[in-house]
Structure 1
Amino acid sequence: MAEAPALHGSTALWALAPVRSEARLRLVPTTPRSTSAPSLRSASSFMRSASVQPDASRTSTQRSAAHALTLTRRGRLLLVGLPIALGVAALILLGAFLTSQAKAGESAPATSSTVEVSVAAGETLWDLAVQYAPERDPRDVVAEIVELNDLHTSLVRAGQSIAVPAGR
């Protein structure tokens, strides 16, 4: 007999208790009953007839042709619902992928007209940006002046000729 651990009491001590292997049950066709008087069987005779020896001709992995595979409600839902849910998710991802627009940046800078300006004594790029493009942010205009004129610094000398973007 095989022995397995069993929990005894609240002290959580494990003790070895014997475990009985259970006999496998199989269905037996019922015999027709007479309609005259119901037969009463004792509990012990019922238990003796219920304990059936396992069928040695079949292994546990083989299924009888009479017992078809049956699915529960949850199994049917899983078998049908899971592929449908995965298909819908794939279609949504495919639709999002095909309808998205590729954007490398916000937008291409609009070309603006430029004005050639000779820098006066004490004038800075900030002053020029405020004077020639008052509706725009001076920081953006100064950055555009530096880029247009390929300047390495934001310092300019008096008399220097530079291109300044005009207001839009």
Structure 2
Amino acid sequence: MSTAAITMSSSKFDMPAGVHTRLRLTRRGRVVLTSLASVPIVVGALVFALNGGGAAASGDHAAVHFQHVTVQSGQSLWSIAEKVAPSADPRDVIADIVSLNQLDSAVVSPGQRIAIPSQYAH
């Protein structure tokens, strides 16, 4: 039996143990890497921009009609609330009227026209 000697040739890329190489990117490599990294950001921005109006009102416009009452001399929101919703708690009706009409307080003046919420209008 004969033994053959095996010789290993080392290439110029073999590094001695403990030596670390640093990754170097060319200009083209940096452009490609930056482009690939920015694709998810651009796609996310497009999706957000296209769906950003999802919470906006749709094109269906529901006609909302309110009953309006003109405040007479000596009337208060309490008396109006008792008149338009006799079975409801006047405090709740007053709160709804103030909110709907964006009033600063529950004080009204004679001649003032106020909207009555549709749930109380008959």
Sort the TM-score into its range (normalised by shorter chain). Answer: 0.3 to 0.5
Q: Higher helix share goes to which structure? A: 2
Larger Rg: 1
Of structures 1 and 2, the one scoring higher in RCO (CA 8 A, sep 6+) is 2
Instruction: State TM-score, norm by structure 2.
Output: 0.43
- Give the TM-score, by structure 1 length: 0.32
- Structure whose residues are more often strand by fraction: 1
